[in-house]
Amino acid sequence: MAPTTPGTRPANPRFSSGPCAKPPTFTLDKLSGAALGRSHRAAIGKEKLAAAIERTRDILGVPADYRIGIVPASDTGAVEMAMWSMLGARKATMVAWESFGAGWVTDVVKQLKIDAEVKEAGYGEIVDMASLDYATDVVFTWNGTTSGVRVPNGDAIPADREGLTICDATSAAFAQDLPWDKLDVVTFSWQKVMGGEAAHGMLILSPRAVERLESYTPAWPLPKIFRMTKGGKLNEGIFRGETINTPSMLAVEDYLVALDWAEQIGGLKALMARADANAQAIWDFCDSRDWIANLAQDPATRSNTSVCLKFTDDRIADGAGFAKAVQKRLEAEGVALDVGAYRDAPAGLRIWCGATVETSDIEALLPWIEWAFHAELEAQTESA
């Protein structure tokens, strides 16, 4: 018997893990105040860039002595800038438990050829952060977007570490508590929890990270878009909004609009609460069913943004084919777009739960997942 079709559909079926859904109040005409056709070095451009920096500081609670810069090439640009400019002064520890972390390992070991210890865990697991040597520079991803596994807190990171901690927090910032005293470099992109655009990255530096930049020159050449110092001194302008090259003023305006929304709903606490409620709805759904489960093995490490799910029913013959077919059914019904697992991750679904997603949409989606699962299982049995 065909499973019953659910009665309601999500008002917004956009559950992509990046670019993520725009804020619920977003409309294109909100961008009409953009400084289009104006120089980013004119007063109006500079003001907007500086506002993007300072309002980020306010909402995230970034300490006053940390620098915040807008840099080229989204989160990847920010991470690369940090690694190429700072690593090599001491040994590195590269930590990875999914695809993006693994990408940073490749960069450091194969491209930069830095003396590094590599600590890896499989999809669904996490590296024990207490087992790392913090006398080395530690590079890690706070929230593994492709496995749905996150660092639960920064307790394992010593406050008096000798090395730097370089943290890719792109799918964590604005959704998870980031312990600033434990982090020397934090990066993220506007395209994730804030539902902004991907053009630019945010690079946040602790005073110790700045000290590294001013006291160490890497042995390799640095392209202009990576260079943060001039004559051995930090180029402070970058951290006031004097970007290294031309930014998109449309993307800047879009980020400011997202920040407006974040402030209106109550700032960081409200943003985190929205992600928590979204993820909790999915966790509850999975807990009461025996055919679907969180990819994250330890509940303490479950992501509240990129929730990754696997199908666990014994009757499924081809896991990858089944997950793909379920995803296609959801997409064909217009109830969930872009919810397939990442290409390098185990088969399953990935549902973005960041702050711009409405809990009512997650709740409306869940019966459709149940429907698609049963429909596909039935189709598989019939064709066997």
Ligand X SMILES: Cc1ncc(COP(=O)(O)O)c(C=O)c1O
Residues that bind ligand X (CB under 6 A): 18, 74-76, 100, 141, 145, 168, 170-171, 189, 191, 198
Q: Which residue has the tokens 């302008």?
A: 237
Nearest approach, Cβ of residue 301 and ligand X (Å): 15
Residue type, 101: G
Amino acid code (one letter) for 285: F
Name which of 285 and 352 has its Cβ closer to ligand X: 352
Distance (Å, whole) CA 39 – CA 42? 5
Query: How near is the Cβ of 378 to ligand X at its closest, in Å?
Result: 34
Q: Which two tokens stand for residue 254?
A: 């879009």
In angstroms, give the least distance from the CB of 140 to ligand X: 10
C-alpha span between 271 and 114 (Å, rounded): 38
Closer by beta carbon to ligand X, 136 or else 305 = 305
Closest separation between CB of residue 149 and ligand X, Å? 11
In this structure, what token pair is assigned to residue 65?
């002595």
234 vs 308 by CB, closer to ligand X:
308
Residue closer to ligand X (CB basis): 169 or 316? 169
The three-class DSSP label of residue 211 is helix
Cis status, amide bond into 19, omega within 30 of 0: yes
**Which of 334-371 are b and which e, b meaning 16 or more Cβ less than 10 Å from the residue's Cβ?**
ebbebbbbbeebbbbbbbbbbbbbbbebbbbbbbbbbb
In the bound state with ligand X, the residue whose beta carbon lies nearer, of 107 and 253, is 107
Instruction: Return the number of the residue (76 or 301) whose C-beta is nearest ligand X.
Output: 76
Report, in Å, the least distance between residue 215 CB and ligand X: 28
Least Cβ distance, residue 192 to ligand X (angstroms): 7
CB of 237 vs ligand X, minimal distance in Å:
23
Which amino acid type is present at position 28? L
Q: Which is nearer to ligand X, 137 or 376 (by Cβ)?
A: 137
Please give the Cα distance from 263 to 187 (Å, whole number): 21
The DSSP annotation for 19-78 comes to: SPPPPTT--GGGGTT--TTS-TTSHHHHHHHHHHHHHHHHHHT--TTSEEEEEESHHHHH
